[in-house]
Structure 1
Amino acid sequence: MHVRRKLRAGLRGSVLAALLLPVAASPALAQGDTPAYQDTSLSAEARAADLVSRMTLDEKAAQLINDAPAIPRLGVREYNWWNEGLHGVAGADIATVFPQAIGLAATWNEPLIREMADVIAIEFRAKHVETRHRFGGSDWFAGLTVWSPNINIFRDPRWGRGQETYGEDPYLTSRLGVAFVRGLQGDDENYLMTVATPKHYAVHSGPEPSRHRDDVHPSPRDLHETYLPAFRATIMEGGAHSIMCAYNAVDGVPACANTPLLQRYLREDWGFEGYVVSDCEAVANIYNAHEHGYTQTSEEGAAVAFRAGMDLVCGGGGEADNILGAVRQGLLSEADLDTALGRLFTARMRLGQFDPPARVFPHITPADNDTDAHRALSLRVAEESLVLLRNEGGLLPLRAAPRSIAVIGPNADNYEALVGNYNGTPSQPVTVLEGLRRRFPDADIIHAEGAGLLDPVLEPVPDSAFCRDARCSQPGLDVAHFASPEMEGAPVSTGIETNATMSWEGELRSGAVRWTGYITASETGEHRFRYVANGGYRIWIGDELIVDAWGVDWRPTLVTGAAMLEAGRSYPIRVEAFQRTDRGDERLMWSLPSDTGAQQALAAAREADLVVFVAGLTHQLEGEDLPIAVPGFLGGDRTSLDLPATQQRLLEEVTAIGTPVVLVLMNGSPLNIDWADRHVPAIIEAWYPGGRGGDAVARLIAGDFSPAGRLPVTFHRFVDELPPFENYSMTGRTYRYFTGEALYPFGYGLSYSSFGYTRPQVSRARVRADQSVTVSVDVTNTGAMDADEVVQLYVSHPGVPDAPIRSLAGFQRLHLARGETRTVRFTLQDRALSLVEADGIRRIEPGPVALWVGGGQPGGRDGLQPAAGVEARFEISSAAVLPN
């Protein structure tokens, strides 16, 4: 969803009278019998149909928008359908924050994801009932319809939203998606805990800048083999009650107006009975000429979407009027609206929004949000998500607590690196720096940031650098405040301030500010400037605009600009800024040519017994539709896989000192760390690990547990070994079709222990298409430490042209005490034995099947320890065609 548009859609709040409206209060309903929609003995579908039949046409149209108003005469509360729960309850409020979705995938632990989703659902309910007078209604980000999980395939590591997904494999994504959906919706016989909404349907995974106009043409094979299976599984197995259609078009038709997607596959083939919600303003994309331009008018755009099977529009700007216009022009019938509304109000009935609150999960209270137990689960999930990529010489686990630790890098003490995007707010966030302090209380821990994410370390420009005139006879800066961000007309106030800083309060929150004066440098060389802000800013040195970050949204940007300054010389400076949120103070920052931050980090590394270098990215660089264009990053996507140059340079300088280095990566997409793989002894992939992430990393380093996270994506070395980003063909993509040598392959991860695989057995040597086959293997912990192992089953079809190299067909994460042996079994049938052919038909064909069961994929590369495992084979003896 478009995050800037989120705020706009969320501003359409409901009136106070609607907030206070009892669930069944209405003078018109006080007379006579209880209406059918309030009769709890009837089915949710029957109650919904009765309620819809009582609405006027205008009321019906208004209910088809995500910010649906109250209908007081019918006792219908206002309801905003928009809420997010990707890895915890999202929004500004306190909630338990679990690792970002890509980290959840790295656990390879289906039961754990279900347990976590159960907790997330409880916290949604806990927050929803916190104010009882809103029961049955909701404002933005406060309801029970959860627009998660994101089960798009992370087909290309450049996609900035890949962090929101479960990785590159359809099977792994399907299993974790089903677990997440089931956890969110719950097992209650009468009510749904929440409504889960798998997204974005379908064939959607970047690029971000063109997503509103992209037209994707997947081959029939890729569509049914890669892009649709996870959606099919979350609908047919998970029972998801909602699904979100995507921005892009598929084969020339916008996804939210695409009849094959929304009718043939979703409703006819998969039996979906829930509702379809559009991505935000995706319906506007249908008719906007500069986007899809699929229809000539907005009314036609609304009509094709609802006729195709979409039921709810996320977006404002007159969409209800467009729906009414479509009906009045004969493009839609009122019956079409009734069909959509029936699905929507069935969901609200199943959530219990028209029933007495005491009947709907009465055991859940506000105290069930962000509990000690939930935070403990967040730590466990974070621990299981960590992937040990390298451990040369057995540096880890530490044999003894070091006397001194230098904690270096831009993410060492960076809150943003914990949470990823679509996040809530952890009440007790633990960065890696804090985690190390907690785990090694007797060690001398020295923190030196050393480098920013993209630039040298920035520090506040001191007051002494500013003056109001060229001769610097008057200290400070002239300041002018304006009533609006457009800075039109005369300022509302002027004055003199010592620095370009601002605490936005009162009326200033909706305005803008301009500082003018002179700045004097103390060093000669390149200075980089940034205004730390939750809004837009511009910086001029002399007549040159060196930073233009005016067109940003509510997210702080990391954009800087450079200026060559001479020591002792004064330069005109102008800074302009406006605020989009009421969070925090703002200030002008610069970096000095001497790069004092890097020097401090190098000094700390020389003095320490161990260096923990915490590098990577944040959601400020990779994410959804980001207003950023800097080397390596564009619009939220990445144009390079490399660690940003400033971080790479510092890492090389620190490593050259000779102090043992543990590199911790915090990021949502794969990084090329080829140099580090050859020079740094220990590397941990930590993803965006959630509120307790720092504790998890510190405990891993200490050896409190053995790592068992496995990569859900392939780590490549170079961007030029990938197909074009815009090309959705799977040829050359992911482990299933990439024929080159990966830096780290899908499924890879090291342990502090070791494992042996023996006695592979297949229940049948020849298997008919209508039969199943069981594969078993004995797995032994042959190391000296109790540990988890992730047993992975891969299937190959030798000799079949265009078949995947191999495909994941099963996995189990299990805990083994040292010396313990356990038999692991997998059952393969129908879809696991099949292949999708070029015509898009899924078939089982006679022929040999090769199996690999191990702790990762078979084979390896120079310098990379191959995974332990065993091979097996069987023969398929007959053919069959399977439904898609």
Structure 2
Amino acid sequence: MKTPTTRRLCSVKAHRAIFFLSLLTILIANVCQAQSFKGFPMWDTNLSFEVRVKDLVSRLTLEEKVGQMLNAAPAIPRLGIPAYDWWNEVLHGVARTPFHVTVYPQAIGMAAGWDSTSLAMMAHYSALEGRAVFNKATALGRNNERYLGLTYWTPNINIFRDPRWGRGQETYGEDPFLTSMLGRAFVRGLQGDDPKYLKAAACAKHFAVHSGPEPSRHSDNFSPSNYDLWDTYLPAFKELVTKAKVEGVMCAYNAFHGQPCCGSDVLMNDILRKQWQFKGYVTSDCWAIDDFFKFHKTHPDATSASVDAVLHGTDVECGTDVYKSLLDGVKKGMIAEAQLDISLIRLFTTRYRLGMFDPVSMVKYAQTPESILETAEHKAHSLKMAQQSIVLLKNEGNTLPLSKNIKKIAVLGPNADNRIVVLGNYNGQPSEIITALQGIKNKLGQEVELIYEKAINFTNDTLLAYANVTNQYSWEGKPGFKAEYYNNVALQGEPEMVRMEKSVDHLWQEGEAVVGRIRANNFSARYSAHYKADEDGYITFEIEADDGYRFFVNDKEVLNAWQRNRWGARTYKLDTKKGASYKIVVEYWQGEGKANVHLRAGLLEKSNLSAIVNRVKDADAIVYVGGISPQLEGEEMRVDFPGFNGGDRTSILLPAVQTELLKMLKGTGKPLVFVVMTGSAIALPYEDQNIPAIVNAWYGGQSAGTAIADVLFGDYNPAGRLPVTFYKADSDLPDFKSYDMNNRTYRYFKGDALYPFGHGLSYTSFQYSKLKTPGKIKSGASFKVSATLTNTGKKDGDEVVQLYLAYPEVAGKAPIRALKGFNRIRLKAGESKTVSFTLSPEQCQLVNEEGALYQPKGKMEISLGGAQPQQKQKTTSNVLTKTLRVR
């Protein structure tokens, strides 16, 4: 007879046996399943990608198909398909990764180098680093996370038609030809030349007619003429799709002629898929499908929007899960399941071409080691491109280069020691950043006395003099802040982790680990402490945060992400009594984007500019580093400082406070250099007339400061050229929302530019001679143009040769002139080289009113030189011009 104890033991043993038997059954099933799916044609590497992809798609259920059309595509274990997130960026180096990578100059700065070879090499190096990141993420089991994949939504080849657009910094400038050639170089460098596998997948964005304004981009509807569409907005996309064979295209937020771009009959079905025969995948811009029914109001709901987007060839939806409504669309007969298959074939073809379904041994790029990250070669190229990007706008009286033998130098300005500004936007994080101040220090060494003053902010002269009050924070007897982290953006539920932290001072890259399971997006945090005042008076708290925050003092909300004081800063002044304790709480939440939150304290004071100028007046030279910042211009930002709105600018003038300081510095009589950092054109009417030397350094990447110092002290001879027109005033600009190209960019602007497109000076001089062209040109035939270029100065240097065409007798619409060739050439002092271009028939054609190409007859003017012809601004190069006749 069994006792109760015996019966319990038997029961336990039986349950254990059942458990282990079940586990064994599952393991056997998994092994069998693995063996089963590995036998499917989709895994057979001897078959073509086309056959394998079709087999894979045929095995998916409807629910699985819809899931694969989201940017965060889930795994399908029964077929061995891993999860994958399509969303990644590589604008100027691998962006938003949690690992350290090489960061190159912002795209507009790389465009200022006018060197397609350098850009192609940058893209190649970035693709290798991206592969290393993906391989490392795969080894860590994180290859399904955002910003770790191999499909990069770059380059941005929209035309920078208006300098007020905050995202213009991401482009290659205002000219369709320059944009086309640089975009083509980027795509070829990134994707590689392997006949079977892609190194990485590029994506041309934003298709099409997209260049601001940012605050209204989700609801805007633009209707440019056919002439402007084909003459300005489409050439770069055509080049990348039909010739560079870009793997992906991203459709834009705005509507085009009444239809959202991702659902445009003209753009998507007719031009992209039918005329250009694009075979790659299309992604929506992130949350753009929501815009169909939320802002454009062209569709009643998510289902109709999703169906229409897919019918127009938008294969993957980014940002939300609106495409999940495709299930409903198929069941209601609004779209056939076979239509989804077309998109899925495109999407999986890209993944197969990236080698994601083949053994590592077969895919050379899959073997890229982690050691490729930030190699010396990559960092050297970042410095080279920063040097190439610098444009010498003005150099009166040979102010530059400065002597290294000076005894005392003053370096001032809001960008002098700004580690954020050099990285631009859509950036990665390098292990080392050289600011302008550090670059000058490194150049001059300890022997030279250097005075540094920030002096002012970008738009005001009131600074927070930071105080070290860390020891005045405590919580329940413990020093510092109680930090609570939540795995959602709403501070809801139980925190993932609670711990004490010394201060609130955090910067995380997207995807980087924060605490526990929390990554640096879609999370929130609360920081609580008591602040004990050490004296009567006041203390000013300053908050810097991406996305959202609230600031409480003694349980009263005193500041949030939508409030600013009269200085435009995120600050709160607290009157204090010595020994009193004040409860302070920061609530912070982060959706997409880099995550950063900082709480600082100190005294907010108006700068004594007279005292600052008096301290530097005996310096041998003064370098002011100003301009603007990606903290002011960028994508759909919460920025409302004077002159800025939502990421765009309301004025292109240099902020007045900077001009006032420059006037005071000019009054010292000392050699004065203005280093401009910007992602767009700035109007500098006073500075052009009064500051002897002006250098435009853009957002120069991790080695920006070294490059700036190299130029300032003559170790590098600048040769950058403007990829955009620098206008004199806001009055030069048409309505921002008008996409009519009349009086826009150098091709149509009838006024006098401050610094024209293509402008840039040098420390040496160049001379052009012996221009050779055919006497007559036959319509539809290629022809050659050549000239002799000589460095007539005493320094080695680069020259950017520019070739322009004009048709002065054309009766219809035509550019004043248009760039049709460029080449950056290195010449030693006294050296001569022959430069030549072969112009194709298409390069010589114009666009008619209907948007079709044609070859005009009659006079054609060819100009060859280091700038545009007939420029009023002083340049280092003469321009040769010849008039030919086209038969």
Pair 1:45–1:664, CA change in 2 (3 A)? same
The equivalent position to 1:332 in structure 2, one of 321, 330, 335, is 335
Q: Does 1:531 align with 2:543?
A: yes
- Output the CA distance in 2 between the equivalents of 1:26 and 1:847: 75
Asked if the contact 1:535/1:577 (under 8 Å) is kept, the reply is no
Q: Does 1:112 align with 2:118?
A: yes
The equivalent position to 2:788 in structure 1, one of 775, 778, 781, is 778
Q: Does 1:671 align with 2:674?
A: no
How is 1:844-859 mapped onto 2 (pairs within 5 angstroms)? Answer: 844-859=855-870
How far does residue 588 in structure 1 lie from its aligned partner after superposition? 3.6
- Output the CA distance in 2 between the equivalents of 1:321 and 1:81: 16
Q: Does 1:48 align with 2:53?
A: yes
Q: Equivalent residue for 1:12? A: none
- Output the CA distance in 1 between the equivalents of 2:57 and 2:63: 12
Identity %: 41
> 85-94 vs 262-271, which deviates more?
262-271
SS in 2 for 1:244: strand
Q: Equivalent residue for 2:455? A: 450
Pair 1:811–1:480, CA change in 2 (3 A)? closer
Between the two proteins, the alignment pairs up a number of residues equal to: 835
Asked if the contact 1:379/1:695 (under 8 Å) is kept, the reply is yes
Pair 1:462–1:787, CA change in 2 (3 A)? closer
Which amino acid in 2 is paired with 1:220? N
How far does residue 157 in structure 1 lie from its aligned partner after superposition? 0.1
Asked if the contact 1:559/1:628 (under 8 Å) is kept, the reply is no
How far does residue 565 in structure 1 lie from its aligned partner after superposition? 10
TM-score normalised over the length of structure 2: 0.87
Which amino acid in 2 is paired with 1:669? S
Superimposed CA distance per residue, residues 14-61 of structure 1 (whole angstroms, 9 cap, x where no aligned partner): xxxxxxxx9x98733524983211122222122111111011111111
Q: Does 1:428 align with 2:432?
A: yes
Superimposed CA distance per residue, residues 404-427 of structure 1 (whole angstroms, 9 cap, x where no aligned partner): 221111111111111000000011
- Output the CA distance in 1 between the equivalents of 2:360 and 2:529: 54
The equivalent position to 2:290 in structure 1, one of 284, 288, 297, is 284
- Output the CA distance in 1 between the equivalents of 2:860 and 2:30: 64
How far does residue 802 in structure 1 lie from its aligned partner after superposition? 2.6
Superimposed CA distance per residue, residues 648-707 of structure 1 (whole angstroms, 9 cap, x where no aligned partner): 222222221122111111110111122111111111100000011111110111111211
Q: Equivalent residue for 2:179? A: 173
Q: Equivalent residue for 2:588? A: 579
Asked if the contact 2:554/2:584 (under 8 Å) is kept, the reply is no
The equivalent position to 1:705 in structure 2, one of 707, 713, 716, is 716
SS in 1 for 2:397: helix
- Output the CA distance in 1 between the equivalents of 2:68 and 2:589: 29
Asked if the contact 1:216/1:728 (under 8 Å) is kept, the reply is yes
Asked if the contact 1:212/1:282 (under 8 Å) is kept, the reply is yes
How far does residue 360 in structure 1 lie from its aligned partner after superposition? 1.0
How far does residue 178 in structure 1 lie from its aligned partner after superposition? 0.1
Q: Equivalent residue for 2:823? A: 812
Q: State the Cα RMSD in Å.
A: 3.7
Superimposed CA distance per residue, residues 68-118 of structure 1 (whole angstroms, 9 cap, x where no aligned partner): 010011010100001100000001421100000000100000111111111
SS in 1 for 2:382: helix
How far does residue 532 in structure 1 lie from its aligned partner after superposition? 3.2
Asked if the contact 2:413/2:624 (under 8 Å) is kept, the reply is yes
Which amino acid in 1 is paired with 2:719? A
SS in 2 for 1:459: strand
Q: Equivalent residue for 2:13? A: none
Pair 1:856–1:825, CA change in 2 (3 A)? same
- Output the CA distance in 1 between the equivalents of 2:409 and 2:819: 40
Q: Does 1:322 align with 2:321?
A: no
Q: Does 1:347 align with 2:359?
A: no
- Output the CA distance in 2 between the equivalents of 1:717 and 1:697: 25
SS in 1 for 2:206: coil
The equivalent position to 1:58 in structure 2, one of 57, 63, 84, is 63
Superimposed CA distance per residue, residues 539-563 of structure 1 (whole angstroms, 9 cap, x where no aligned partner): 69999998542599xxxxx951689
Which amino acid in 2 is paired with 1:530? E
Asked if the contact 2:470/2:480 (under 8 Å) is kept, the reply is no
Superimposed CA distance per residue, residues 704-761 of structure 1 (whole angstroms, 9 cap, x where no aligned partner): 1211100000011211220010111101100011111111000000000111111111
Asked if the contact 1:541/1:571 (under 8 Å) is kept, the reply is no
SS in 2 for 1:621: coil
- Output the CA distance in 1 between the equivalents of 2:82 and 2:91: 26
- Output the CA distance in 2 between the equivalents of 1:826 and 1:382: 27
How is 1:853-868 mapped onto 2 (pairs within 5 angstroms)? Answer: 853-861=864-872, 864-865=874-875, 867-868=877-878
Pair 1:594–1:320, CA change in 2 (3 A)? closer
The equivalent position to 1:791 in structure 2, one of 795, 801, 811, is 801
SS in 2 for 1:832: helix
Q: Equivalent residue for 1:512? A: 526
Asked if the contact 1:794/1:808 (under 8 Å) is kept, the reply is yes
The equivalent position to 1:230 in structure 2, one of 216, 236, 247, is 236
The equivalent position to 1:648 in structure 2, one of 644, 652, 659, is 659
Q: Does 1:560 align with 2:569?
A: yes
TM-score normalised over the length of structure 1: 0.87
Q: Does 1:359 align with 2:362?
A: yes
Pair 1:491–1:279, CA change in 2 (3 A)? closer
> 657-666 vs 127-136, which deviates more?
127-136
How is 1:194-343 mapped onto 2 (pairs within 5 angstroms)? Answer: 194-288=200-294, 291-316=295-320, 318-343=321-346
- Output the CA distance in 2 between the equivalents of 1:134 and 1:437: 40
- Output the CA distance in 2 between the equivalents of 1:521 and 1:806: 67
- Output the CA distance in 1 between the equivalents of 2:130 and 2:830: 43
Q: Equivalent residue for 2:639? A: 628
Q: Does 1:549 align with 2:552?
A: no
Superimposed CA distance per residue, residues 438-485 of structure 1 (whole angstroms, 9 cap, x where no aligned partner): 1111322222111122333322257599999xxxxxxx9999988888
How far does residue 67 in structure 1 lie from its aligned partner after superposition? 0.2
- Output the CA distance in 2 between the equivalents of 1:583 and 1:216: 33
The equivalent position to 1:392 in structure 2, one of 391, 396, 405, is 396
- Output the CA distance in 2 between the equivalents of 1:479 and 1:369: 35
The equivalent position to 2:128 in structure 1, one of 118, 122, 133, is 122
Which amino acid in 1 is paired with 2:841? D
Superimposed CA distance per residue, residues 143-200 of structure 1 (whole angstroms, 9 cap, x where no aligned partner): 1001100000000000000000000000000000000000110011221000100100
Which amino acid in 2 is paired with 1:452? N
Pair 1:528–1:762, CA change in 2 (3 A)? farther
Asked if the contact 2:485/2:497 (under 8 Å) is kept, the reply is no
Pair 1:506–1:775, CA change in 2 (3 A)? closer
Max Rg structure:
2
SS in 1 for 2:305: helix
How far does residue 812 in structure 1 lie from its aligned partner after superposition? 0.6
Pair 1:422–1:220, CA change in 2 (3 A)? same
Which amino acid in 1 is paired with 2:784? T
Asked if the contact 2:627/2:678 (under 8 Å) is kept, the reply is yes
Pair 1:588–1:125, CA change in 2 (3 A)? closer
How far does residue 604 in structure 1 lie from its aligned partner after superposition? 4.1
SS in 1 for 2:589: coil
How far does residue 379 in structure 1 lie from its aligned partner after superposition? 0.4
SS in 2 for 1:373: helix
> 866-875 vs 710-719, which deviates more?
866-875
Pair 1:46–1:32, CA change in 2 (3 A)? closer
How is 1:591-630 mapped onto 2 (pairs within 5 angstroms)? Answer: 592-596=604-608, 598=609, 601-630=612-641
Superimposed CA distance per residue, residues 530-587 of structure 1 (whole angstroms, 9 cap, x where no aligned partner): 32345644569999998542599xxxxx951689999999999996532336967732
Q: Which runs of 5+ in 2 are unaligned?
A: 1-26, 508-513
SS in 2 for 1:640: coil
> 137-146 vs 358-367, which deviates more?
358-367
- Output the CA distance in 1 between the equivalents of 2:493 and 2:133: 44
Superimposed CA distance per residue, residues 331-360 of structure 1 (whole angstroms, 9 cap, x where no aligned partner): 111101100000010111110000001211
Q: Equivalent residue for 2:5? A: none
SS in 1 for 2:120: helix
